[in-house]
Amino acid sequence: MQTPNTPSPTEMLVACLCAEWCGTCRVYQPLFEQLQTQFPGVRFLWIDVEDESELVDPIEVENFPTLLIARGQHSLFFGTVTPHLQTLERLLRSALEPGAPALAPEADRDGLVQRLWRHGI
């Protein structure tokens, strides 16, 4: 049974972990937002790691942009990507495929996924 702010096992989350001072992130943000119209069933979040440090900690984001893609509570991708629209689109299409493999469990990253779903940014 689902509780409030608990995703179904098929709900998708895409979070971009960024920083306001990062020029690459500022260029990437409109591209990231553009994909929201192509993937209406996916929840997109733009997270400034400094403004939302309590939410992001203990994750240390050292390279930008860093993407987190999750289906339900399971992480499918977590890492730095080149700031290209086609790269994100390809990652999302792969993650949406039935049977897309989840990453091995990792406490800090999986905790971030849970916090993002609960926080409801």
Element (H, E) at 66: strand 66-71
97 token code pair: 């495929």
Mark whether 22 is an active-site residue: yes
Q: What percent of the chain has pLDDT over 70?
A: 93
Q: What percent of the chain has pLDDT over 90?
A: 67
Count of CB atoms within 10 A of residue 6's CB? Answer: 13
Q: Which of 22, 61, 81, 85 is catalytic?
A: 22
pTM, whole model, 2 decimals? 0.90
Q: Which of 13, 17, 25, 69 is catalytic?
A: 25
Report how far residue 48's alpha carbon sits from residue 104's, in angstroms, rounded to the nearest whole number. Answer: 26
pLDDT at 119 (0 to 100) = 78
Q: Which residues have CB under 8 Å from 77's CB, separation 6+?
A: 67, 68, 69, 91, 95, 103
Structural domains of the chain in order of their starting residue, each with its CATH number: 12-119 (3.40.30.10)
CA separation, residue 74 to residues 11, 86, 103 (Å)? 10, 23, 7
pLDDT at 30 (0 to 100) = 93
Mark whether 25 is an active-site residue: yes
